[in-house]
Amino acid sequence: MKNNHHWGIYITNTSNKKKLIHEFLINSSYQNIASYIGNKIALFSKITIAQLIEDEDRYDSKTIAKENSQPLKSMSSGEQKKALLKHLLSTDNKVIILDNVFDNLDIESQKKIKKTLTEKADKISFIQLISRKEDKLPFLTHFAVLENETLKTYSSLSSIPFFKNKNTLTGVIPPPINDSNYTEQVLIKLNNITVSFGEKTVLKNINWQIDRGSFWELIGANGSGKTTILSMLTGENPKGYGQDLYIFGKKKGSGESIWDIKKRIGYFTPSMTDKFKGNHTIENMLISGFNDSIGLYVKPTDVQKQLAKQWLKLLQMENLKDTLFKELSMGQKRVIMTTRAMVKHPELLILDEPTTGLDDFSASLLVSLVNKMAQESQTTILFVSHRKENNLTPQYQYLLTPSTAGSTGTITRL
């Protein structure tokens, strides 16, 4: 192997990652990191993907998937990342910045990409931006932490103190503002559900019963149909009509409205944070969860205010109650948004890749919060992830296994 420098830079959820990336791309160097001046630097990041999608829409041309008729924006997030990496490795880039390269990728894809990057490490210098310790590439030679805008170097990744941080929550989950009127044992039921898009079958004979108060983890490879199932449960996908699908005791298509379904569901996915750009305090953000609104547009009741304070106390964030949401770190935003989905004690709480992009400390706090909700409430939880969160304590796991005939499902009691 050549004497290439391969940096692992640990990014916390208070790091100014955007500035670091910008400085690298325009100056080929940053503070005390080894200089890459004179080398062509490429960026592997969702930032690059977003720009390429914008270019596709604006110029009606494909940059990284010319051999594929599928537009980049129609791919899953995992497929987008794989297409971008394939493109970058096929060019003459001498340095590539890898921004959370393994997020949104299934385990097999992670293994393949790790193998590919290791094989390329003698020809290309990599700068890996790491949020989770387990994502470290095996060939890294230098290590640093980005503390806000300052890089601090370390002799090894294990010596970085951020990895030693653990977070657990004390106290109890605040009570619901209203008791649920749903008393049946079965919350969701899918009987022999098959879903196709055109000639492609995505799901094949899916059978899955989700009981009230249970805690499930939904896993599966990229493209296995997880998003399809979620969209049928939330009412966004019409593929559930005409099938033997029961949601909150009613067969799909029996007269329920999307609002009837949504008011019973708490939902969070990381992309939701982009919708909240107003000047809302985090106290008002939590209160808006009682009304499923983006922001707070009606005067909150005294009970809502009191419950919001109790949630903030549980999160040890009561001193931040008047802080604007936009001023929080990414980890704090994610915890507040997850809590916002919980405050009304929904019959069903769907958390879609909630730890994506979080550092180890923030991820451990969020997982602790989800576990407490499962233990101390009647809410049914569906946690969706490609990443194995070691401290997560679901009761059951539903695994989607893809095939040419469509994905099938397997239930495991944990």
215 pLDDT more than 50: yes
- Rounded (5°) CA angle 296-297-300: 65
Average pLDDT over residues 65-77: 66
243 pLDDT more than 80: yes
Residue of higher predicted confidence among 397 and 236: 397
Average pLDDT over residues 66-74: 64
In this predicted structure, what is the pLDDT of residue 341?
A: 95
Strand pairing category for 244-247 and 186-197: antiparallel
pLDDT tens readout for residues 389-414: 989 999 999 999 999 999 999 999 99
Instruction: Give 81's contacts (C-beta < 8 A, 6+ positions apart).
Output: 44, 49, 101, 103, 104, 105
In this predicted structure, what is the pLDDT of residue 70?
A: 64
Residue of higher predicted confidence among 322 and 159: 322
165 pLDDT more than 80: no
pLDDT exceeding 90 applies to what percent of the chain? 50
Average pLDDT over residues 129-139: 92
Residue of higher predicted confidence among 295 and 307: 307
In this predicted structure, what is the pLDDT of residue 1?
A: 38
| Phi and psi, residue 183, nearest 5° | -120, -5
Average pLDDT over residues 263-281: 83
In this predicted structure, what is the pLDDT of residue 163?
A: 61
In this predicted structure, what is the pLDDT of residue 237?
A: 81
Residue 184 CA: distances (Å) to CA of 25, 187, 368: 57, 7, 28
Average pLDDT over residues 345-360: 92
219 pLDDT more than 50: yes
268 pLDDT more than 70: yes
65 pLDDT more than 80: no
| Phi and psi, residue 413, nearest 5° | -90, 125
DSSP 8-32: EEEE-TTS-HHHHHHHHHHHS--TT
Question: What does the mean pLDDT of the chain come to?
Answer: 88
Q: How far is Cα 207 from Cα 129, in angstroms, rounded to an integer?
A: 40
Question: Sorting pLDDT into bands at 50, 70 and 90, what band is 14?
Answer: confident
Tokens representing 1? 């192997």
pLDDT tens readout for residues 19-35: 899 888 887 777 767 67
Read off the DSSP letter of residue 155.
Answer: S
Give the range with max mean pLDDT: 75-79, 133-137, 237-241: 133-137
Question: Sorting pLDDT into bands at 50, 70 and 90, what band is 68?
Answer: low
In this predicted structure, what is the pLDDT of residue 69?
A: 55
Please state whether 292 falls in left (phi above 0), alpha (psi between -120 and 50) or beta.
left
352 pLDDT more than 80: yes
Taking 3-state DSSP, the helix, strand and coil percentages for the chain, each rounded to the nearest 5, stand at 35, 25, 40
Question: Sorting pLDDT into bands at 50, 70 and 90, what band is 162?
Answer: low
In this predicted structure, what is the pLDDT of residue 253?
A: 80
